[in-house]
Structure 1
Amino acid sequence: MADHTEPSGALVRLASAHGVVPDHWDFHGNHRRASAETLTAVLAALGVDASSPERIDLALQFAEDQPWRRVLPPVVVMRRGRTAHVPVHVTHGDPVELWVELDPEAGGGRRDVAQADVPVPPRSVDGRDVGRATFTLPADLPLGWHTLHASGPSAEGRAPLVVTPDRLELPERLRDGDRAWGFMAQLYSVRSRASWGVGDLADLAEVCWRAGRDCGADFVLVNPLHAAEPGAPMTPSPYLPTTRRFVNPLYVRVEDVREAAYLSAADRALVEWAAEPARALGDDPGPIDRDAAWTAKRAALEVVFAAPRSAARQARFDAFAEREGDGLRTFALWCALAEKHGSEHWPDELRDPASPAVAELAAQLADRVEFYTWLQWVADEQLETAQRAAHEGGMAIGVMHDLAVGVHPEGADVWALRDVLARGATVGAPPDMYNQQGQDWSQPPWNPDELARVAYRPYRDMLRSVLRHAGAIRIDHVIGLFRLWWVPAGSLPYDGAYVRYDHEALVGILALEAERAGAIVIGEDLGTVEPWVRDYLADRGVLGTSVLWFEQDLHGNPLPPDEYRRLVLATVTTHDLPPTAGYLAGEHVAIRDRLGLLTEPVATVRAAADAERGRMIDALRARGLVGDDPSEREIVEAMHRYVLGTPAVLVGVALTDAVGERRAQNQPGTDQEYPNWKVPLADGAGRLVTVDELFDNPRLRSLVQVLREG
């Protein structure tokens, strides 16, 4: 923004009342204050008018009175084993009773709740004296999604009550001091001879089975598999999906859909005809062409969809659609509409899912809606097969899914969840050492008040879908469950502000759904993190993330292995850096220089990178992990030995490191300037490495031996 006015005290109080943080400490330890313009714009995105002193005063009064207008809070989230207080608002002096209707999954039934002796003065709201009665929820309520009921002469109310685990426990083996290791893969890049130009769920099943059986790995962490646009152009970034709840059918293996085996000769010929150009893409070392692959695959899947299903198969499909409910129906409808009108620039009458125009088109497009519903079913079946293959291969955890931070600004979730996603701001990150101009990820954030109003159900439903066939889940930018950096529309990423969320509710619901699914939770807690947050997550049983390059002492030297946290997924690298071979060669400096992303002279940044590399090799040498003149492969393996020397309960190994790849999958802060998320898996010489030959790769086998010895 052009202006940077100091905010008034009233504006700061209003911002704080809505969770907008007026100041913060940046990556370099400097205290930064948000301008009045930034706070006003962020509040506007939250639906709060702070455009004048008078409006600010009105908004403050409304924020103070609003809780007293409700009989019950919109939702109550508590921990099992702890009591919790619930305020109930009635006409002052009136009696009221409160009880809990228990979740049928927790056994059902009714529990009366006792009123506590907590005197609170009444408040005059809208011309009425409102009293507050405080009730104490017992500590022995079972886990689940229950319902609170309040009843009295002047008030009747109900609200969801969510009882969450106090702590999400690790599997017994990991609690006893053992550790697990696994591979980290960008699935689209890991192709086989049978793939249609893009790695798919059948490839994932094979990688999991062989990694478990042949290598002793316990998990495979994959990129987010969330759905993209239903037609070209398909957004390449798996971290900018149209929805986080459903799966990108690009990953479906056509031939593994059961009905494909029973096609007529003519229909089988149609599938093979569609496959030919797509399979040819598998030998192309250039950027992955998702549009070509999906165009071919969708044509083939339409042939399979039209084939008859047995009564049992149809019943399973119907049961899947019924279980996923309105969320799936709305998503499938969005796909059909996006297929007809594109995913952006819809007619105004179609922007509201509840409009008559949408209802009319839904009837006209019923066949396409069913097709997109069916795609989610067959994708779900293949995800189930991949997780089963992982366990059959001996993996203790299996598939570790990745949950993106947010969604595309013109995607299905923004259309379907328009009431709980903020408009007028996007999520990003303030400046740090790797992105010195800050970042704008273009994703609309949850509106925290509206999310609470709908009792976090969209968040819960998303978690349930992602966790259904998961042994673990990685939460990208887990700090977003505590606060997110909001960038007002038209502003630079630097001119943003943090907005706080109810982390007790969001982390608690995450723990509840993960416990029900039997999954481990890993939070990516890199970057600018308030110190207490990591302790809180550890107390709740959510693992953190440690990346060797980022773990440094006060002098910039690699942190000694014994000083690492135990409750983390520890890795040498991350997908936002070049693979280790490339990083050692300074690729991260060269890319940013070439793309104009540096704010310091390239010589200065290169010298810092050289010094960082030197400190790393010195640390490896000091522990006897490398000699005087180590090769690239020896350094990479030594760095993994270093990580294995930490107490970390999980260790992740990038497949790119295992085969010697040097090219980055992603360069943060870029869009079209770099082929982000399009780089197929290759070795250090640029030769493609397919799933068929992956586990015979000499460099991978050598690194696996290091991991087994560790």
Structure 2
Amino acid sequence: MTSSLLEQLVEYRGIESNYNDAWGNPTTIEPETKRKLLAAMGYQVNDSDLLLKQVQENHNKVWLSVLNPVQVLRAEELLQIRVRLPIELVTDEYVAHIDTELGEVLQHRFTPIDGQLIDVVHIEEIEFQEYLIDVPINPPLGYHSLSLVIDDDVLGTMRLIVAPQSCFKPKALTQGHKVWGLSVQLYCLRSTHNWGVGDFSDLSFLIEKLAKQGAQFVGLNPIHALYPANANACSPYGPSSRRWLNLIYIDVTSLDGFLQTSTQEVVSSEEFQRQLQQARNADLVDYELVTKLKLQALEKVFEYQNSQYLTKNTKLNKAFKAFVDEGGDSLQTLAVYDALQENLALKGKESWGWPVFPKEFSDFHNPAVKTFTKKHAKRVKFFLWLQWHAALQLEQANQVAKQNDMLIGLYRDLAVGVSEGSAEIWGNKDLYCTDASVGAPPDILGPLGQNWGLPPMDPEKLYQQQYQPIIELFDSNMRATGALRIDHVMALLRLWWVASGDSAKQGGYVYYPVDDLLAILALESHRHQSLVIGEDLGTVPEEIRIKLAENGVYSYRVFFFEQAKDGGFFSPSHYPEQSMSTLTTHDMPTLSGYWHCHDLELGKELGLYPTQDILNTLYDSRHENKQSILETLHGHQSVSEEVGRDVHNVPMSKALNFGMQLHMAGGSSELLSLQLEDWLEMDKPVNIPGTFNEYPNWRRKLTRNLQDIFADSSLNSLAAKLTEARKLASK
């Protein structure tokens, strides 16, 4: 019985038993792996009696709920609801009562027995029947509430989500226009004014300059909230909260209160200026130092604003309170977490994340946390205030894009998850399976698989929570943007789960309600007028690529991965129009690094290749690929004869670098994203996948100040040529 029950649970919970690997080979998931994944979901797999009891309780809980928690449908789709009632109540007349988000009331009367009988069960000798009921109402787009009512009594309520057929797309793109932009790692930016890390004022400057050169967007790394009290946990892809912002990007100097005396006494001191110069001159971002300096100054600015505005009946205070109210529990959770983590760190206690907090502080909902929040109310307010100003400065950058008539403006990057010790999990542990992590199965680039250390959301709990966490996630990340890039967009369909203690190779796929999630994505996309780009690299079934395309999600096409079986590179003119093309990404070497094999040299130094034979094979493959690239470039007349045709005699040069970028600009993708590092002909990567402390990931700065970049005539000429090439590629 236990074996049969486990297999039923595996199927019910969307754990895949078979899949095709990166080489196209059919692969079977081991029974023990599936058992561990069920355990990570909370099932008592090691005790058959407890497991059976648990399954029965969950089953009964569903049947004792009159309505499902949530239902998602597309515009114009027939609304059908499932109603579960004891048999003696199925002949009564009920009202399906819909309260739309705009306050409109829609109603439909029905008798369950007139509907379609779906299922019958007995619970404690009571027969329950489930009916499928047609509701001939077309609710508007949005988030509504549907209640089952009889004689003014509400028997149950569910969320009703009505979404458009596909994601938003700017009109100019539907008319055939093709555009380009730059992708940047915000923290890498150097400027004459920043404090050792790029900030939102740098972003505004960059947007304005690029807009004048014809760029239509600026793409960002994830700018999610990290850990002010643990600044070296700096990976933008392992955040504390994906709803809120990284405080390090605040430009302190632009805040009201920076020039007042108490702030200037701090920042003008000899020691502060010495450390500030140290942070600015460093070739790698010194996150601890920059965070310390910014917080010292921000504390003084906060004291000023708090006394002048935030303790009085002022417009500024009303705006701040409105921001806090709108942020709700999610914002409060993060502010309390940041204050608590800081407090524990100051006391010398282990504090990298909630798993090592003292037991009484291990959950946001614990009484001790409420006591701490009251005792440290002003410090919590400080962290709320920081999030407010981060949001204001990001919106200012967005306004610069609008004022300069950028078609898209900013596009943000949504990370696939949050780290194990994050505030997001701390505040909603029921949603996350902390005994597992997501990653990727073995593939060509990672033969051992990948474990990213990010606990997955439980798809069943996400459904029970009426998809609210994912709604908030899409909503918050589309604010102040014209586009959203979803890292590892496959997460909408399935994620590779790895049980704690297992290697990445021992994982298995768990499926998510992809159609519901895509519908919500489309709804938020239209609400924010934000197009959506899905990073669809790796092991991607063709059916999900088709589904994404049908839902208006832009594919992500990387030149170096668009390679035919004979080794040749596909022309960018053959890429899907509904795609964003690029030469490289943050996880790849720069153009210069690729051409000179610096990534392979680094990999050897860092011990990433088990044998010399493997490394030799990679060198041989790189040599062949470079020759194919030269043939492609010359074949399409993307480079002049200044660039040789024999790879043995062709180093990376400005002509080759710029030629590759212009080669992409003539392609069919509606969006072209180029890396600022490649404009500067840099050779060091910003991140080396598979490394932790072996390489300074997420720290390497640009080699030049922003002000110098836009005074470079060769780069200005490149921008003009890119703009012209994109116009020629348009219909």
**TM-score, normalised by the number of residues in structure 2:** 0.91
Q: Partner residue of 1:240?
A: 238
Contact 1:247 1:376 (8 Å CA) reproduced: yes
Q: Partner residue of 1:318?
A: 321
What pairs up with 1:649-688 in 2 under 5 angstroms?
A: 649-682=670-703
Secondary structure in structure 2 of the residue aligned to 1:28: coil
Q: Partner residue of 2:729?
A: none
Output the CA distance in 1 between the equivalents of 2:181 and 2:472: 28
Contact 2:168 2:529 (8 Å CA) reproduced: no
Residues 156-185 of structure 1 show CA distances to partners (whole Å, capped at 9, x for unaligned) of 110111111111231111110101211100
Q: Partner residue of 2:228?
A: 230
Q: Partner residue of 1:353?
A: 364
Q: Do structure 1's residue 179 and structure 2's residue 140 form an aligned pair?
A: no
Tell me: CA distance 1:59–1:267, structure 2 relative to 1, closer, same or farther (3 Å). closer
Secondary structure in structure 2 of the residue aligned to 1:377: helix
Secondary structure in structure 2 of the residue aligned to 1:141: coil
Q: Do structure 1's residue 298 and structure 2's residue 301 form an aligned pair?
A: no
Output the CA distance in 1 between the equivalents of 2:48 and 2:625: 51
Q: Partner residue of 1:83?
A: 78
Secondary structure in structure 2 of the residue aligned to 1:606: helix
Contact 2:44 2:50 (8 Å CA) reproduced: yes
Output the CA distance in 2 between the equivalents of 1:606 and 1:572: 20
Identity among equivalent pairs (%): 31
- Structure 1: which amino acid aligns with 2:277? A
Secondary structure in structure 1 of the residue aligned to 2:504: coil
Contact 2:191 2:202 (8 Å CA) reproduced: yes
Tell me: CA distance 1:548–1:357, structure 2 relative to 1, closer, same or farther (3 Å). same
Q: Do structure 1's residue 541 and structure 2's residue 561 form an aligned pair?
A: no
Residues 380-414 of structure 1 show CA distances to partners (whole Å, capped at 9, x for unaligned) of 11011100111223312111111111111111111
Q: Partner residue of 2:203?
A: 204
Output the CA distance in 1 between the equivalents of 2:272 and 2:559: 42
What pairs up with 1:267-416 in 2 under 5 angstroms?
A: 267-273=263-269, 276-281=273-278, 283-307=280-304, 308-310=307-309, 311-341=314-344, 342-344=351-353, 345-416=356-427
What pairs up with 1:12-31 in 2 under 5 angstroms?
A: 12-31=7-26
Output the CA distance in 2 between the equivalents of 1:566 and 1:388: 28
Shift of 1:29: 1.3
Shift of 1:663: 0.7
Contact 2:562 2:569 (8 Å CA) reproduced: yes
Secondary structure in structure 2 of the residue aligned to 1:236: coil
Shift of 1:645: 2.7
Tell me: CA distance 1:437–1:138, structure 2 relative to 1, closer, same or farther (3 Å). farther
Secondary structure in structure 2 of the residue aligned to 1:216: coil
Secondary structure in structure 1 of the residue aligned to 2:389: helix
Q: Do structure 1's residue 428 and structure 2's residue 423 form an aligned pair?
A: no
Q: Partner residue of 1:552?
A: 563
Shift of 1:266: 3.8
Contact 1:194 1:279 (8 Å CA) reproduced: no
Tell me: CA distance 1:596–1:482, structure 2 relative to 1, closer, same or farther (3 Å). same
- Structure 1: which amino acid aligns with 2:557? S
Q: Partner residue of 1:705?
A: 720
Q: Partner residue of 1:3?
A: none
Residues 605-662 of structure 1 show CA distances to partners (whole Å, capped at 9, x for unaligned) of 1111111222121111211223351653222222223322322111101101111111
Output the CA distance in 2 between the equivalents of 1:391 and 1:229: 31
Output the CA distance in 1 between the equivalents of 2:262 and 2:50: 69
Output the CA distance in 1 between the equivalents of 2:134 and 2:288: 56
Tell me: CA distance 1:100–1:560, structure 2 relative to 1, closer, same or farther (3 Å). farther
Q: Partner residue of 2:160?
A: 161
Tell me: CA distance 1:37–1:121, structure 2 relative to 1, closer, same or farther (3 Å). closer
Output the CA distance in 1 between the equivalents of 2:667 and 2:109: 48
- Structure 1: which amino acid aligns with 2:126? R
Tell me: CA distance 1:136–1:275, structure 2 relative to 1, closer, same or farther (3 Å). farther
**TM-score, normalised by the number of residues in structure 1:** 0.93
Shift of 1:100: 3.9
Shift of 1:278: 4.9
Shift of 1:708: 1.6
Tell me: CA distance 1:382–1:112, structure 2 relative to 1, closer, same or farther (3 Å). same
Q: Partner residue of 2:129?
A: 131
Instruction: Supply the RMSD in Å over aligned alpha carbons.
Output: 2.2
Residues 254-273 of structure 1 show CA distances to partners (whole Å, capped at 9, x for unaligned) of 01112324x1x343222333
Contact 2:214 2:720 (8 Å CA) reproduced: no
Tell me: CA distance 1:596–1:126, structure 2 relative to 1, closer, same or farther (3 Å). farther
Shift of 1:367: 0.6
Shift of 1:318: 1.3
Which segment is superposed worse, 451-460 or 185-194? Answer: 451-460
Secondary structure in structure 2 of the residue aligned to 1:494: helix
Residues 303-333 of structure 1 show CA distances to partners (whole Å, capped at 9, x for unaligned) of 0000033422112111111111222112111
Shift of 1:337: 0.7
Secondary structure in structure 2 of the residue aligned to 1:549: helix
Q: Partner residue of 1:257?
A: 255
Output the CA distance in 2 between the equivalents of 1:587 and 1:494: 28
Gaps of 5+ in 2: 345-350, 645-649, 726-731
Contact 1:14 1:56 (8 Å CA) reproduced: no
Contact 2:115 2:134 (8 Å CA) reproduced: no
Contact 1:98 1:135 (8 Å CA) reproduced: no
- Structure 2: which amino acid aligns with 1:320? F
Shift of 1:572: 0.8
Secondary structure in structure 2 of the residue aligned to 1:309: helix
- Structure 1: which amino acid aligns with 2:293? A
Shift of 1:698: 4.4
- Structure 1: which amino acid aligns with 2:668? P
- Structure 1: which amino acid aligns with 2:268? E
Contact 2:139 2:162 (8 Å CA) reproduced: yes
Tell me: CA distance 1:54–1:614, structure 2 relative to 1, closer, same or farther (3 Å). farther
- Structure 1: which amino acid aligns with 2:398? Q
Shift of 1:10: 5.0
Contact 1:208 1:386 (8 Å CA) reproduced: yes
Output the CA distance in 2 between the equivalents of 1:13 and 1:536: 27
Contact 1:197 1:278 (8 Å CA) reproduced: no
Output the CA distance in 2 between the equivalents of 1:439 and 1:699: 40
Tell me: CA distance 1:42–1:313, structure 2 relative to 1, closer, same or farther (3 Å). same
Tell me: CA distance 1:61–1:22, structure 2 relative to 1, closer, same or farther (3 Å). farther
Q: Partner residue of 2:105?
A: 109
Contact 1:193 1:282 (8 Å CA) reproduced: no
Shift of 1:132: 1.1
Secondary structure in structure 1 of the residue aligned to 2:560: coil
Output the CA distance in 1 between the equivalents of 2:566 and 2:9: 41
Secondary structure in structure 2 of the residue aligned to 1:260: coil
Tell me: CA distance 1:152–1:249, structure 2 relative to 1, closer, same or farther (3 Å). same
Shift of 1:699: 4.6
Output the CA distance in 2 between the equivalents of 1:433 and 1:309: 59
Output the CA distance in 1 between the equivalents of 2:326 and 2:332: 11
Q: Do structure 1's residue 615 and structure 2's residue 628 form an aligned pair?
A: yes
Which segment is superposed worse, 64-73 or 196-205? Answer: 64-73
Output the CA distance in 2 between the equivalents of 1:134 and 1:39: 33
Shift of 1:56: 6.3
Output the CA distance in 2 between the equivalents of 1:131 and 1:96: 15
Output the CA distance in 1 between the equivalents of 2:401 and 2:276: 25
Contact 1:211 1:393 (8 Å CA) reproduced: no
Shift of 1:117: 3.5
Tell me: CA distance 1:568–1:9, structure 2 relative to 1, closer, same or farther (3 Å). farther
Tell me: CA distance 1:696–1:248, structure 2 relative to 1, closer, same or farther (3 Å). same
Q: Partner residue of 1:4?
A: none
Tell me: CA distance 1:68–1:593, structure 2 relative to 1, closer, same or farther (3 Å). same
Tell me: CA distance 1:525–1:85, structure 2 relative to 1, closer, same or farther (3 Å). same
Output the CA distance in 1 between the equivalents of 2:58 and 2:319: 48
Residue of 135, 140, 143 corresponding to 2:141: 143
- Structure 1: which amino acid aligns with 2:41? L
Output the CA distance in 2 between the equivalents of 1:662 and 1:282: 22
Residue of 510, 528, 551 corresponding to 1:517: 528
Output the CA distance in 1 between the equivalents of 2:277 and 2:357: 35
Output the CA distance in 1 between the equivalents of 2:453 and 2:217: 31
- Structure 2: which amino acid aligns with 1:406? G
Contact 1:275 1:297 (8 Å CA) reproduced: no
Shift of 1:282: 5.3
